[in-house]
């Protein structure tokens, strides 16, 4: 499972980078950092959500979605919006 | 300037370098430090005594619990020792009523040797304490059912089965010849009998070999502690019947009417573990959960016979000393886990408080001793107290480790075994009926699927500053006791009751 997730995530990031180069979109180092943190937190959430379900801990699984999944989505959204708004302004 | 690269000013670059450096410094505070390639290579399941980087080894005879070896002495088990266990099962009281108190007390009062007033008082509240505890957590629970009682009774039916009273497998011993559990059934062929030389191997090879055999017999971990002038004090001086246990310079161990004789050369104590059924332990103290430890007690006699015969087949002696020693002390010294607030259960960094019946066997097969560990468990217990908070019988200390029992009634009666020689925690023997609720709620009792568990273990092993937060999160995330009836609704109960991922994660 994690091999597939890694391949998908790697392909998605590569695709994103190539697409941004094509559109002449620049990304600051801190925008990369926020996005990477968001992606790492998303992967952490997926692993622990699936692991908690395997442990038959449904409450813990839902808590992971809330406690780490939501911040992951927020970080990814912040990273995206920082880039997008700078592009619109610039 | 190429349009493919964003420009970074010198100021931004230096700010970035500084921030990366700060991040690396913070990460290094919790990162493993490998001093050489051997340490890196040891971090794998190939190591006979697997230790991830966050488990530190301590010196022999120096566990995380302070011991006064000078004060320690071999225990005389003929001293009366009162505990609530054994009087609390439905098989004793003979009733399944929700309020069996009157029937239980009537049975207690009819015993030829009366129980102590302290136990009687504690047991007077036992049935309702179990009901109240579970009902408060799960209001929809309707109480123990007939299948719960049947499960517990079935699990207990062969617990502690005495193979030696019945002549053993295939009746190599005549029906009237009862073998000794101390020296074993003696059914395996010795090397001489097969025309082989006695097995010879290095202590490390022998430990790996014994571990392989015991894993096959159903034991997760094997530790070894050498009998020294200190550790010999953890072998009782007399058993509960008053039979002396004597070490002598002889070749063969004997169990005659007057004494147990242990050859001095039988100086390697093998400590081997036995997990309780995973999901049943989470249902304690309800009746179906009480079958958890009984299932382990059923496997234990088989494993001890198998180990004894394996050693005999190698050409060595295996002396079953479960009744002549206590489990937790040897387990802690051998690195199975640490002494924690659970007191009567050693707490493993891998399995939490889910071990049951960690057995001991002396042998003259040379074995490499294993060291005590520091995995941050004892320090976690200082602030956690989840076991104490979830005890229906108020049997736990909520304070710090002490040299004496925290309860005056236990101190006054000296109702302890060697109770003054270590600075630790103790349970109330009068109050604890072995309901196992504490084992299911221990923060370290976790099934190894979510990655967060090893992160918590690694962090708590390195620093204690997050321990209080981890305890709160353990509650917030819903870990702990589960609704009893839901065990029967599981899609698939694991074979032997033990989550198989426990066995493949180490």
Give me the sign of the Cα torsion angle B176, B182, B186, B192.
negative
DSSP state of B162: -
Which residues does B227 contact at the CB level (< 8 Å), separation at least 6?
B235, B247, B266, B267, B268, B269, B362
CB-CB: which of A21, A55, A58 is closest to B450?
Answer: A55
Is the Cβ–Cβ distance between A57 and B481 less than 8 Å? no
The Cα–Cα gap between B261 and B255 comes to 6
pLDDT at A5 (0 to 100): 82
What is the pTM (predicted TM-score) of this model? 0.86
What is the reported pLDDT for B70?
94
Burial zone of B125 (CB within 10 Å; 0-12 exposed, 13-18 middle, 19+ buried): middle
Q: Which residues of B touch A31 (CB under 8 A)?
A: none
Look at residues B361, B363, B433 and name the one whose alpha carbon lies nearest to residue B395.
B433
pLDDT at B25 (0 to 100): 57
* HSE-CB for B40 with a 13 A CA cutoff: 4
Residues of A in Cβ contact (< 8 Å) with B451 = 44, 47-48, 51
Q: What is the DSSP letter of B449?
A: T
Task: Write out the E strands in B93-234.
Answer: 222-226
Overall average pLDDT of the A29-51 stretch: 95
A-chain residues near B504 (CB < 8 A):
none
> ipTM score here?
0.87
Cβ-contact B218, B495 below 8 angstroms:
no
**Chain B interface residues (partner A, CB cutoff 8 A):** 3-4, 6, 8, 12, 16, 279, 446-447, 449-452, 476-479, 490, 501
* Count of all residues that appear for chain B in the document: 506
* Chains A–B, number of C-beta pairs less than 8 Å apart: 49
Residue pair B426/B359 in contact (Cβ under 8 Å)? The answer is no
**Residue of chain A whose Cα is closest to the Cα of B19:** A30
CA closest to B499 among chain A residues: A55
For chain B, which residues score pLDDT lower than 70?
1-8, 12-13, 15-50, 86-101, 126-127, 165-178, 418-419, 505-506
CB within 8 Å: A60 and B447: no
pLDDT at B87: 66
Q: Are B432 and B388 in contact (CB under 8 A)?
A: no
């Amino acid at each position: 499972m994690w091999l597939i997730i890694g391949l998908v995530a790697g392909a998605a990031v590569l695709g994103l980078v190539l697409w941004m180069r094509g559109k002449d979109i620049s990304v600051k180092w801190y925008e990369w950092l926020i996005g990477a943190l968001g992606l790492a937190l998303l992967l952490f959430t997926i692993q622990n959500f699936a692991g908690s379900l395997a442990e038959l801990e449904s409450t813990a699984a839902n808590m992971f979605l809330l406690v780490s999944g939501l911040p992951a989505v927020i970080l990814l959204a912040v990273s995206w919006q920082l880039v997008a708004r700078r592009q619109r302004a610039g | 300037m190429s349009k493919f690269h964003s420009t970074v000013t010198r100021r931004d670059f230096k700010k970035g370098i500084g921030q990366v450096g700060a991040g690396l410094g913070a990460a290094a505070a919790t990162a493993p430090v490998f001093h050489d390639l051997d340490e890196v290579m040891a971090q794998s399941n190939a190591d006979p005594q697997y230790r991830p980087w966050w488990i530190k080894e301590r010196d022999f005879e120096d566990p995380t619990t302070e011991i006064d070896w000078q004060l320690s002495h071999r225990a005389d088990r003929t001293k009366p020792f009162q505990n609530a266990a054994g009087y609390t099962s439905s098989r004793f009281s003979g009733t399944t009523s929700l309020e069996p108190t009157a029937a239980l007390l009537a049975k207690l009062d009819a015993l030829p040797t009366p129980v102590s007033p302290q136990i009687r008082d504690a047991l007077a509240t036992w049935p309702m304490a179990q009901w109240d505890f579970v009902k408060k957590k799960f209001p929809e629970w309707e109480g123990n059912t007939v299948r719960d009682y049947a499960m517990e009774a079935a699990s207990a039916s062969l617990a502690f089965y005495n193979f030696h009273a019945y002549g053993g497998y295939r009746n190599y011993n005549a029906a009237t010849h009862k073998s000794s559990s101390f020296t074993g059934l003696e059914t395996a062929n010795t090397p001489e009998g097969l025309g082989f030389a006695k097995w010879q191997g290095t202590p490390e090879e022998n430990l790996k070999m014994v571990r392989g055999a015991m894993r096959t017999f159903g034991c997760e971990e094997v530790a070894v502690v050498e009998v020294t002038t200190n550790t010999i004090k953890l072998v009782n001086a007399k058993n509960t019947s008053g039979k002396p246990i004597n070490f002598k310079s002889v070749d063969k161990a004997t169990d005659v009417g007057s004494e147990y004789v242990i050859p001095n050369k039988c100086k390697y104590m093998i400590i081997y573990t036995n997990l309780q059924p995973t999901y049943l332990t989470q249902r304690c103290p309800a009746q179906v959960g009480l079958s958890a430890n009984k299932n382990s007690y059923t496997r234990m006699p088989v494993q001890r016979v198998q180990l004894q015969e394996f050693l005999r087949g190698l050409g060595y002696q295996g002396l079953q000393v479960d009744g002549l020693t206590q489990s937790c002390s040897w387990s802690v010294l051998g690195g199975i886990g640490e002494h924690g607030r659970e007191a009567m259960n050693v707490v493993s960094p891998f399995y939490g408080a889910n071990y049951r019946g960690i057995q001991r066997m002396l042998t003259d097969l040379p074995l490499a001793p294993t060291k005590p560990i520091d995995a941050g468990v004892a320090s976690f217990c200082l602030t956690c107290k989840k076991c104490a908070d979830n005890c229906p019988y108020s049997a736990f200390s909520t304070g710090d480790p002490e040299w004496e029992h925290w309860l005056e009634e236990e101190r006054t009666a000296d109702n302890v075994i060697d109770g003054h020689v270590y600075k630790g925690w103790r349970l109330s023997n009068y109050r604890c009926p072995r309901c196992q609720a504490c084992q299911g709620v221990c923060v370290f009792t976790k099934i190894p699927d979510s990655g967060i568990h090893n992160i918590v273990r690694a962090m708590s092993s390195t620093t204690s500053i997050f321990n209080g937060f981890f305890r709160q999160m353990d509650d917030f995330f819903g870990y702990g006791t589960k609704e009893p009836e839901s065990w029967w609704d599981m899609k698939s109960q694991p074979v032997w009751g033990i989550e198989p991922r426990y066995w493949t994660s180490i």
